[in-house]
Amino acid sequence: MTARIAPMDPPYAEEVKAALEKWMPPGSPMEPLRLFRTLERNHALADRLRGVGALFLGRHALTPPRLRELLILRTCARAGAEYEWGVHVTAFAAAVGLDDAAVRATAARSPGEARLDEGDDAMALRLADELHDDATVSPALWALLSARFGDEQLLEMIGVVGFYHLVSFTIQAAGVEREPWAARFPEARRSADATHRGSCLCGSIEYEVTGELGEFGYCHCTSCRKASGSAHAANAPIDRAAFRVVRGATCVREFESSPGKFRSFCARCGSPLYAYLAATKDVLRLRLGSLDTPFAGRAQAHTFVSDKAPWDAVEGDLPQFPGWAPKSVLEQRGSHQP
Ligand SMILES: [Zn+2]
Ligand SMILES: [Zn+2]
């Protein structure tokens, strides 16, 4: 995920520094979390949210920390906010007595798989699930909850689920990037939605894509020939939000091949992975040669054949165009196609 709203970066103005210090534990040597540095782009809002968060996590909270963390983890997992789920797992799970199985249950994909043993734990997960799915609580669950907890605590528990939806929405919509030290979703969950997987030649970088790849052609332009080291490139558009580097993010490098055009590749082996334009950076053009999973798509056209290598015999039935293909033949999202 790439940030849509950039977090504040040091050096901070005095008032920002003071605000960020309030978010972190006193005397913490850590850089303030990206979430806090993002929220502080709207200080008035951030200041009030911090108060609500402190109420839920502070010592006056009515909900025992273990239940609170189950509510938070399940809410963040259901909302897809791996950032916050991971921060809470790393910061709190062990301290509140959640073992690996309990943590994994919070990240199960469907409510049916999330069952913990009966009792308070299971009720907490169900509460988060029902509020997430239905924005209310079923009569059956309410009967269980109200037999166990008082009204004051129930309002707090509902508030925790609501608040962490707000946190999750902010993370997902603003594109807050993972903290490098935070736990990741279990592998099974991360990959369950993926429709395509790929990697670079040396294997340092692995990625996955959720959803379909867009239309593609064979581009014979000089840049694509050089960037691919071959007769042409085959690049399909995908939404950046659908793309995730699973492993080796630190190996991903970018080269600005012309103003505003970035090509990414593996720093170790040089495999091209994708390119994008700064002007349309939410669309990546994936290098299909890096795919490891089967892909049944067919090229729609040869483009920029006027640039083709003299040794390349462009044959076959696909239509050929000296420059861009018309959009009616091949729509190249995320490119300069006019
Ligand atoms: Zn590599
Ligand atoms: Zn090209």
The reported pLDDT for the residue numbered 330 is 93
Residue 199 corresponds to which amino acid?
S
Question: How confident is the model at residue 29, as a pLDDT?
Answer: 86
**pLDDT at residue 113 tops 80:** no
What is the distance in A from the centroid of ligand 1 to the CA of 265? 8
What's the average model confidence in pLDDT over 161-184?
A: 94
pLDDT of residue 242: 87
Rounded average pLDDT over 221-240 = 93
Residue 1: its pLDDT value, please? 54
Could you report the per-residue pLDDT of 18-74, keeping only the tens digit for each? 999 999 988 888 899 999 999 999 999 999 999 999 999 999 999 999 999 999 999
> Residue 165: which region, alpha, beta or left (left: phi > 0; alpha: psi -120 to 50)?
alpha
Whether the predicted pLDDT of 270 surpasses 80: yes
| Arithmetic mean of pLDDT, 132-152 | 94
- Please give the share of the chain, as a percent, with pLDDT higher than 90: 75
What is the Å distance from ligand 2's center to 233 Cα?
A: 7
Share of the chain above pLDDT 70, in %: 95
Q: pLDDT per residue over 71-105, tens digit each?
A: 999 999 999 899 999 999 999 999 999 999 899 99
Asked if pLDDT for residue 251 goes beyond 60, the answer is yes
The residues pairing with 21 across neighbouring beta strands, listed in sequence order, are: none
Q: Burial level of 307, CB count in 10 A (0-12/13-18/19+)? A: middle
Least-confidence region, from 15-24, 102-111, 135-144, 275-284: 102-111
E strand or H helix at 102, and its extent?
Answer: helix 100-106
| Cβ–Cβ under 8 Å, residues 177 and 87 | no
Dist. CA 79 → ligand 1 center (Å) = 32
Q: How far apart are CA 28 and CA 38, in angstroms?
A: 19
Q: Are 214 and 237 in contact (CB under 8 A)?
A: yes
- Domains, the chain, in order of start with CATH, read 14-188 (1.20.1290.10), 194-307 (2.170.150.70)
pLDDT at 271: 96
* Distance from residue 227's CA to the centre of ligand 2 (Å): 9
The answer on pLDDT for 187 being more than 80 is no
83 bridge partner residues:
none
Mean predicted confidence (pLDDT) in 156-184? 95
**Spacing, Cα 248 to ligand 1 middle (Å):** 9
**Residue 10 DSSP class:** S
Confirm if 215 and 296 have CB atoms less than 8 A apart: no
For residues 223 and 231, is the Cβ–Cβ distance under 8 A?
Answer: no
Quote the mean pLDDT of the chain: 91
Ligand closest in space to the Cα of 325: 2
Beta bridge partners of 262: 256, 276
Spatial contact of 38 and 176, defined as CB atoms under 8 Å apart: yes
At 106 the pLDDT is 93
Query: Cα of 264 to ligand 2 centre, how many Å?
Result: 15
Ligand 2 centre distance from Cα of residue 273 (Å)? 14
The answer for residues whose C-beta is within 8 angstroms of residue 283's C-beta and 6 or more apart is 237, 238, 239, 240, 276, 277, 333, 334
Question: How many angstroms is it from 287 CA to the middle of ligand 1?
Answer: 14
Report d(CA 17, CA 276) in Å as an integer: 35
CA of 199, nearest ligand number: 1
- Contact between residue 301 and residue 326 where contact means Cβ atoms under 8 Å apart: no
CA 304 to centroid of ligand 2, rounded, Å: 7
Beta bridge partners of 283: 239
Cβ 252 vs Cβ 276: under 8 Å: no
CA–CA dist 298, 81 (Å, integer): 34
